[in-house]
């Protein structure tokens, strides 16, 4: 389930795909998942998907650019894994 939701989070970064996700019941399915499907970090991935669904393309692009700048500058959010760990 984690891989599927991470893929959804990645795909919903594209506005047209986020609209398709919403129109095809993706949000209802996300909120309808049983607790047995939850995993560590579920809240983070689910909130990213919801954010992608709510934001207009310009706001979303600005947020993604900020994420990239923070990742490259080493100013990472708490709880995220550095690529050095791989």
HSE, CB side, 13 Å, CA atoms: give it for residue 17.
11
Global model pTM greater than 0.75: no
More confident residue, 84 or 65: 65
pLDDT of residue 75: 62
Mean pLDDT of 65-69: 89
Which stretches does DSSP call E strand in the chain? none
pLDDT of residue 3: 96
Distances (CA, A) of 37 to 12, 47, 78: 20, 16, 24
User: In this structure, are residues 30 and 12 in contact, taking their beta carbons and an 8 Å threshold?
Assistant: no
Examine the pLDDT at 77 and tell me if it is beyond 60. no
pLDDT of residue 79: 52
Whole-angstrom Cα distance, residue 86 to residue 34? Answer: 31
Average of per-residue pLDDT values in the chain: 86
């Amino acid at each position: 389930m984690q891989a599927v939701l991470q893929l959804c989070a990645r795909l919903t970064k594209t506005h047209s795909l986020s609209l398709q996700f919403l129109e095809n019941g993706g949000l209802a399915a996300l909120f309808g998942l049983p607790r047995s499907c939850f995993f560590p970090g579920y809240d983070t991935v689910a909130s990213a998907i919801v954010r992608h669904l709510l934001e207009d393309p310009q706001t979303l692009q600005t947020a993604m650019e900020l994420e990239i700048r923070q990742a490259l500058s080493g100013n990472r959010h708490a709880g995220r894994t550095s690529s050095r760990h791989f």
